[in-house]
Amino acid sequence: MGLETYRQKRDFARTPEPSGKVRKKTGWSFVVQKHAASRMHYDFRLELDGVLLSWSVPKGPSYDVEEKRLAVQTEDHPVEYGTFEGIIPEGEYGGGTVMLWDRGTWEPVGDPRVGMEKGKLDFVLHGERLEGRWTLVRLKSRPEDRGRANWLLFKRSDEHVAEHEGEEITDVALTSVKSGRSMDEIAEAKGRSRKVWHSNRGSSEGVPSAKARIRAAAREGRVKHAAKTVRAPAEPVPSEPAKKKKATKKPRAHTPPRKWDVAPREGAYRGPTRAPRRDTGAREKVAGVGISNGGRVVDPGSGITKIEVARYYAEVAHCFLAHAADRALALVRCPEGSAGQCFYQKHSHPGMSEHIHVAHAPWGEEVLSVRTQPGVVALAQWSAIELHGWSARVDAIEKPDWIVMDLDPAEDVGFAEVVEGALTLRERLSSIGLESFVKTTGGKGLHVVVPLMRRHGWDVVKDFAHALALDISHRAPDRYLAEMSKSKRTGRIFVDYLRNGRGNTAILPYSARARDGLPVAMPLAWSEIEKVTPAQFDVRSAPKWIAKRRRDPWAAMRSVRQSITREILDALAT
């Protein structure tokens, strides 16, 4: 192992890449860098004996155990390269944009040096995106390989596989774990053209398929809290708040996102098409917040502009904050509109408004929240279209105050069947002594929400939600299922309980969705759900609906006092 080949290929007077040296003090870091060079690919790197062993993976890693991805071994890189993100100049070796796509540590299974020699390396990854057991196997050399060592990278079966069933992680994880930026934003930061430069092809490379984008799952049940990622927190974990299990308010430190920043499952990522703009002129203020590029068209189909989205959120802020004030947030930001590249963001970012509050959870993770109308509008100014929330508020981050059961229908299931499922779920909850509320999601499904007193921890709440989903599916297995499998969902509704763990989120009441027409997640009375369709609520029509209704259908939620008691658990088991 050494860095001679690495250095020979690079002119360090021109490239910002580190020259580095072989480290004497070694570790077990791993990184994956998304690299738009002559071809888009993913550079997979494992630290061993003071350098980063490196492979170029054209299609990137996959959680599908049936997928064996070609991985071409390249020259060793310095360990310092594991933090590199930026632009390699055109004309230099590997010229193009580099994103730090994943990072963490790895554990070899057996002696890794023996594994490299024999051509089979088994290991466990502890990353922000890649986790669990993986294998690299070297293929038999062929003349056409021209001296290159070709390997196969593939996932081994474990508990992480089911969490990613039906998706390609490279289709849904689209931003940097270091900076939260997209490939285009990394390129733009260096004064380059808006689109990522590719040396021999168009800028659409790597755009997810329509099916993958709609699926763009970030099924938040897959996102592990920071305690499960192997990295140092952005700031020291405060000792006293950890004792109280509360999120600690701190002066806003613009720490870049570190978690998996992707578009949520119901969100519609549609690729990097630039939204058309109208004349913007001076910044118009909405609720005291200046809106930049207010004339930018956010939804090409309807012509809805950014200023309209800001005005919508200003108008419904009082309704939204009744359920979302001080609730930990996750955002879908679409700087180029809903037809452009959208990404999922849960952490602060340089230039973020002072109206958006930043706290630190006891385990070190940043959480965002708002509590005022200007705060809600500031989210829109920050190009956030979708506002998702945890099941807990920042002052008691370990104590959820509601359960969200997401009724997610297969493509061949109509809305009437979803309504029937929601009424079935309501009836079952009522039979065990729990009151519930309902809302549209801005998609085909419905959310049934069960308010709770803040008594239970995450494990209790998620376990109860899982048991409830199993109960419903067992009672009518031909109509409902409690597992995420796409292959088994045909003709049925997935009773999704996965939104109820720490760090998992669900679309908040009155939030818009980054879909055609910007539909809205609308709270409804139980008596209304058989009389409406989700498509009738969008950012233009929703305020009229709200103005006409006689009362807030969720007003009673604030006075409900209920918790998961032993009697309720016993009743659910019968």
Q: Does residue 233 lie within any of the structural domains?
A: no
Task: With beta carbons less than 8 A apart as the criterion, state whether 330 and 505 touch.
Answer: yes
What range defines the domain where residue 264 resides?
A: 218-223+242-396
Between CA 203 and CA 169 the distance in angstroms is 20
What is the maximum span of the chain, computed from C-alpha positions, in angstroms? 77
Q: How much is the pTM?
A: 0.59
Do 193 and 262 belong to one domain?
no
Do 427 and 542 belong to one domain?
yes
Order of strands across the sheet with 480-481? 480-481, 493-496, 402-409, 446-451, 437-440, 523-524
> In sequence order, what are the residues at sequence separation of 6 or more whose Cβ sits closer than 8 angstroms to the Cβ of residue 571?
431, 432, 433
Do 369 and 305 belong to one domain?
yes
Do 9 and 133 belong to one domain?
yes
Do 337 and 293 belong to one domain?
yes
- pLDDT > 60? residue 11: yes
The 8-class DSSP code of residue 29 comes to E
Domain count, the chain: 3
pLDDT in tens, 437-486: 999 999 999 999 999 999 999 999 999 999 999 999 999 999 999 987 77
DSSP letter string, 421-453: HHHHHHHHHHHTT---EEEE-SSS-EEEEEE--
Do 375 and 452 belong to one domain?
no
> In sequence order, what are the residues at sequence separation of 6 or more whose Cβ sits closer than 8 angstroms to the Cβ of residue 340?
270, 271, 272, 273, 274, 275, 334
* Domain final position from 348, 366, 396: 396
pLDDT band at 302 (very low <50, low <70, confident <90, very high): very high
Q: Which of 173-182, 242-251, 431-440 has the highest mean pLDDT?
A: 431-440
Do 195 and 124 belong to one domain?
yes
- pLDDT > 80? residue 73: yes
Q: Residues in the chain, how many?
A: 574
- pLDDT > 60? residue 347: yes
User: Could you give the percent of the chain with pLDDT greater than 70?
Assistant: 83
Which value, to the nearest 10 degrees, does the dihedral of the CA atoms of residues 314, 301, 383, 103 take? 140
Tokens of 165: 């069933």
The burial of 351, by beta-carbon neighbours within 10 Å (0-12 exposed, 13-18 middle, 19 or more buried), is given as: exposed
The overall average pLDDT reported for the chain is: 83
pLDDT in tens, 519-574: 999 999 999 999 999 999 999 999 999 999 988 999 999 999 999 999 999 999 88
* Domain final position from 396, 427, 452: 396
pLDDT band at 83 (very low <50, low <70, confident <90, very high): very high
Do 503 and 520 belong to one domain?
yes
494 vs 2, higher pLDDT = 494
Do 412 and 392 belong to one domain?
no
Q: Does residue 211 lie within any of the structural domains?
A: no
